Structure 1
């Protein structure tokens, strides 16, 4: 598959939407290293924030590359707190 990042994003989102299996989604997230801003935002917005694990959302936010933080990941974290 030439565009694997898209497939990983879809798998992460599917695990979170179908039963909110954040643990499995995070395993998929950690299994590849070519992450993009969508991967980080999905894990922060849909994953950790949805299950109210704000400490993990913050940790992941700080691990995200700086260029991914604004505006996408920052907005995700702020929305979670709201």
Structure 2
């Protein structure tokens, strides 16, 4: 397809040494689309919870230009 779009967005956070990564990916050319959550624990196999497109509410794309409003408190919590 001419001018086909694609994208990959994710939002990650860690709690109790477990990393959670919410993802949204698409490719217009191959008509692929996926959403879900990847759960990662060091030394163990990742768990992928695939979402259902019809059940999706909102979009991670909306966060693209919001980095000036989103604060990363990670450095504050290290001390």
Give the TM-score category using the shorter length.
under 0.3
When normalised by structure 2's length, the TM-score is 0.26
Looking at CA atoms only, which structure, 1 or 2, has the larger radius of gyration? 2
**TM-score normalised to structure 1 length:** 0.25
Name the structure where helix makes up a greater proportion of residues.
Answer: 1
Higher share in strand: 2
Indicate the structure whose relative CO is greater, using CA pairs within 8 Å and at least 6 residues apart: 1
